[in-house]
Structure 1
Amino acid sequence: MTLEELLNDLQALVDQYSDGTEPTEEDAARMAELTDQINERTAQTAQAAQARNAAVANARAAIDAGRAQRVDSVPLARSANVTGASGAVYDVTDYDAAERRAWVKGLAERSGIQLVGGTALTDAERAAQRHAIEQRAEFTMTTANTESLVPVAVQKEIISLIDNTAVFFGDISRTNMSGQVEFPRHKSITAGDAAKTKEGEAPTDVEQNDFDNVPLVGEEIKKTVEMSRKMATQSLSGFEQYIITEVSARLSVACNAFAHEKLGDAKYGMAAANKIQTAAAKSLTKADMVKMLSLLRTYGNAAAKGIIIYANNSTIWNQIAMIEDTTGRSYFVNEATDDPIVQGRIFGKVVKQDDSIADGVIKAGFPDLFKGNIFDGPDVTPYVQPRTQKRCFDGYVLFDGVLAVPEAFAQLTIKSA
């Protein structure tokens, strides 16, 4: 019987004599027996809890001292016990954190950075790093012989920071497939688009779509972070945050600029007919903006974010915000949001500040339909620059992308003359 069942049985007997009558000899003996069993079970539970707390405390002490050993081969059914060990073994090491510490220490050691506390790996950090290399070598050919891998959690953190500052790059759709990738481009519906039919009748024409496949092989994006010799003494956490923040900041500019480059490419980007100019020089009108928006197409492809307008700060406030109706009121609505990149709306479309775009250029479209792929990275490679003794860290991403529907974006350039 479980402890709960024993308690229920005892309570039932107590309730039976709640009127003050004396229990029978048989019931009294049963009550005494249940009480003994409950006390015994309670003592056993308390003893087990004390033993486990002591084991966990010992394990945590081993982690702090760097003596905790990773256990990967213990059968799941008896995961709390290890053959050959005395007593129960509970390995509560956070190996993701240990892998991050090992990576940071290795980065510092290879670049001559003196960390407070040193760069020597503990047993737990060494085991975590070895395990990560072995695991990823089974799936990624490019890292099979790499001695120090950027932890996945760090890669995600760098990408997250890039997305927060790389405006267009942060909006596009991205995958992480290795090897050459081909994306189909939906260029047009040549025949048989949706049309009205009579009840019960088949469509008058079968839809015919114009597709072409565009291969993506990946382009290398690199940016260097520099640290002077004077800055070369750091705490581990401070050094890690410095690398993540600075590499993200450098790569965000490069990744965003490259995404815009692909957007403007004749083969990978928007259709030539979607690149237009204003009707008059040095002037932006409602008609110009509406014409640009009228060129946009999705051909039925999903675009959850809708149309977004991109321009730099000067173009937004000197041109877009100055478009007025006949009463002198601006069509642009300045909306304060949690996202500092969003400057407002015009004609119901979000306007974002993107400083990768030149003055006098406005881009609008469906960012969901720009399909990007990160083949490798983000990666960080350290080295010491000769003579200057600067500690350098090369941020690296292997990326490529294509606009899946060439008419999904349009570009409006304000004539200079």
Structure 2
Amino acid sequence: MDKTKYLAKRNEMLQRAENFINEGKIEEAQAIRGEIEKLDKDFEDAAKEMANLNALHKNAVVLDFANKSLNPVGSQSLDQLNLDGQQQAPSKSKLTNEETETYKNAFAKNLMGLPHSNTERDLFNRINDEYSNALQTSAEHTVLVPETVKNQIWREIGELHPILDDLAMTFVPGDLILIKEENPLKNADAVVETDEVNDDDDLDFGELHLTGCELAKTITVSWKMKKMSIDAFLAYITTKLAEKMSNGLAKWVAEGKGKPGAGDTWKPQARGIVVALEAEATTPQIVTYSDADPVTYKKMTAALAKIKSGYLKGAAIYTKNDIIWNVLANIVDGTGKPIFVADSTSGGVGRIFGLVVKEEDAVSDGEILIGNVSRGYAMNANENITMYQQEFVKARKTDYMGYAIIDGDVMTTKAFALIKKS
């Protein structure tokens, strides 16, 4: 039953119930009320199920962050590089399964200050010498992270922040230039005759330059912690580094300041989505609200209307937990029905208009970011995760720093909309 038929039937039943009351037929009116309540429940259940089905049509299956990274045409794929994506000399042979496990143990023992066997020491030194030579670096404390450990860090990074899990990230060594079309629908209505030459100059193409920004996060471990087993220690280090690196990376994607200009004092960062939207003249992709003019059904539809056709498929709604339950969950339509459908099976906490609502702490207080991150934002790691360590003997502690060179920027602002408090 569609909404029009539902409302018509409901109004007709209400009128019948009122007539019975006016005639003093209370039992008949009560029976009609029971039918109305059943009709409301049936319609609400049908609406929820339809929203669920629509979301399945619109949203692709979310893959784990570590396994859905991309390699543009002309770059080496991860399985073509030694140690899964690290910038190695291509002539070196891949490690065997036995060597991979040996290097993992050697890596852990190096972090824990444990002695190596001869085989572990030789393999560890050879691989890290090759890595340093490939990067032309003389850093003494850098250590190549094993494939399994590195992938686990990336996987946990994606699990900690939905906005990162939705990224289609690339791992291309060095600077990366991506071609983007500034106005993809400019010539959509143009007709090219068979004897005419298409004017390529009419197409608006631009370039997105992704260079490199240092993402470096440090954790401190007491020497007592090194008494763990190797597997437990690696799991602990992986989780702690993933937590810190994911917080920094997610903040970059949402609100990174970009490259500093003259007079700016911050270090280079990837440029965030919100920063790109606020930088546009007249801020066409932003809807504002205030205490006197709160977020309503109309403001939500106004924000969705700002996203260009084609980008809504795969889009999501990102905001903090308090906004989800204090604002979004209380928005109602013209009939007084909430538009938020609670659902924890879709990769978020619920849906609005078929879009998954995801709790994302990287979004600032009071802001609701809507958009297609996988298609509207590009991020490249031109140097994958390495690890540095430094010992502090007097304090009996060790610092471990996860380090990567990453850059990102918005491919098109038309893939996003922002609702923010004015």
What TM-score do you get using the length of structure 2 for normalisation? 0.65
Give the deviation of 1:94 after TM superposition: 1.0
What does the per-residue CA deviation read over 1:39-94, in whole Å, with 9 as the maximum and x for residues that have no partner?
A: xxxxxxxxxxxxxxxxxxxxxxxxxxxxxxxxxxxxxxxxxxxxxxxxxxxx9971
Q: Is residue 401 of structure 1 aligned with residue 383 of structure 2?
A: no
Give the deviation of 1:385 after TM superposition: 4.3
- 1:162-241 to 2 correspondences below 5 Å: 162-189=157-184, 191-194=186-189, 208-241=202-235
Aligned to 2:246: 252
What does the per-residue CA deviation read over 1:347-377, in whole Å, with 9 as the maximum and x for residues that have no partner?
A: 1111111011122201111111211001223
Aligned to 2:4: none
SS of alignment partner, residue 284 of structure 1: coil
Match 2:355 to one of 341, 349, 352: 349
Name the stretch that deviates more: 368-377 or 133-142.
133-142
* Alpha-carbon distance change, 209 to 93 in structure 1, aligned in 2, over 3 angstroms: closer
Q: Distance in 2 between matches of 1:92 and 1:178?
A: 24
Q: Which amino acid aligns with 1:281?
A: A
Name the stretch that deviates more: 226-235 or 373-382.
226-235
| Native 8 Å contact 2:319 2:361 kept in 1 | yes
Structure (1 or 2) with the larger CA radius of gyration? 1
Q: Is residue 379 of structure 1 aligned with residue 414 of structure 2?
A: no
* Alpha-carbon distance change, 307 to 161 in structure 1, aligned in 2, over 3 angstroms: same
Q: Is residue 263 of structure 1 aligned with residue 272 of structure 2?
A: yes
SS of alignment partner, residue 203 of structure 2: strand
Q: Which runs of 5+ in 2 are unaligned?
A: 1-94, 257-270
Give the deviation of 1:131 after TM superposition: 4.3
Q: Which amino acid aligns with 2:216?
A: K
Aligned to 1:390: 397
What does the per-residue CA deviation read over 1:306-356, in whole Å, with 9 as the maximum and x for residues that have no partner?
A: 1111111011111111110233210010012174xx011101111111011
Q: Distance in 2 between matches of 1:376 and 1:279?
A: 43
Give the deviation of 1:138 after TM superposition: 6.5
Give the deviation of 1:281 after TM superposition: 3.4
Aligned to 2:307: 296
Q: Distance in 2 between matches of 1:358 and 1:268?
A: 14
Match 1:337 to one of 342, 345, 368: 345
SS of alignment partner, residue 148 of structure 1: strand
Give the deviation of 1:238 after TM superposition: 1.5
* Alpha-carbon distance change, 203 to 367 in structure 1, aligned in 2, over 3 angstroms: farther
Q: Distance in 2 between matches of 1:297 and 1:152?
A: 39
| Native 8 Å contact 1:166 1:255 kept in 2 | no
Q: Distance in 2 between matches of 1:386 and 1:144?
A: 21
Q: Is residue 318 of structure 1 aligned with residue 326 of structure 2?
A: yes
Give the deviation of 1:214 after TM superposition: 2.9
Q: Which amino acid aligns with 1:243?
A: I
Q: Which amino acid aligns with 1:157?
A: Q
Aligned to 1:358: 364
Aligned to 2:16: none
Aligned to 2:143: 148
Give the deviation of 1:139 after TM superposition: 4.6
| Native 8 Å contact 2:142 2:387 kept in 1 | no
SS of alignment partner, residue 173 of structure 1: coil
Q: Is residue 158 of structure 1 aligned with residue 169 of structure 2?
A: no
Q: Distance in 2 between matches of 1:229 and 1:254?
A: 27
Q: Which runs of 5+ in 1 are unaligned?
A: 1-90, 110-118
Q: Distance in 1 between matches of 2:205 and 2:246?
A: 32
SS of alignment partner, residue 145 of structure 2: coil
* Alpha-carbon distance change, 394 to 146 in structure 1, aligned in 2, over 3 angstroms: closer
SS of alignment partner, residue 284 of structure 2: helix
Q: Which amino acid aligns with 1:148?
A: V
* Alpha-carbon distance change, 148 to 278 in structure 1, aligned in 2, over 3 angstroms: closer
Q: Distance in 1 between matches of 2:409 and 2:187?
A: 26
Q: Distance in 2 between matches of 1:351 and 1:156?
A: 27
* Alpha-carbon distance change, 225 to 147 in structure 1, aligned in 2, over 3 angstroms: closer
Give the deviation of 1:137 after TM superposition: 5.2
| Native 8 Å contact 1:270 1:409 kept in 2 | no
| Native 8 Å contact 1:159 1:248 kept in 2 | yes
SS of alignment partner, residue 404 of structure 2: strand
Match 2:100 to one of 84, 96, 100: 96
What TM-score do you get using the length of structure 1 for normalisation? 0.66
Q: Distance in 2 between matches of 1:293 and 1:349?
A: 10
Q: Distance in 2 between matches of 1:401 and 1:312?
A: 22
What does the per-residue CA deviation read over 1:105-148, in whole Å, with 9 as the maximum and x for residues that have no partner?
A: 11122xxxxxxxxx221233234324433554565445897763
* Number of residue pairs the alignment of both structures matches: 309
Give the deviation of 1:228 after TM superposition: 2.7
Aligned to 1:281: 292
What does the per-residue CA deviation read over 1:251-310, in whole Å, with 9 as the maximum and x for residues that have no partner?
A: 111111111122246569884321231377351111111111111126x7xx69611111
Aligned Cα root-mean-square deviation (Å): 3.2
* Alpha-carbon distance change, 269 to 127 in structure 1, aligned in 2, over 3 angstroms: farther
Q: Distance in 1 between matches of 2:197 and 2:333?
A: 44
* Alpha-carbon distance change, 380 to 330 in structure 1, aligned in 2, over 3 angstroms: same
* Alpha-carbon distance change, 269 to 193 in structure 1, aligned in 2, over 3 angstroms: farther
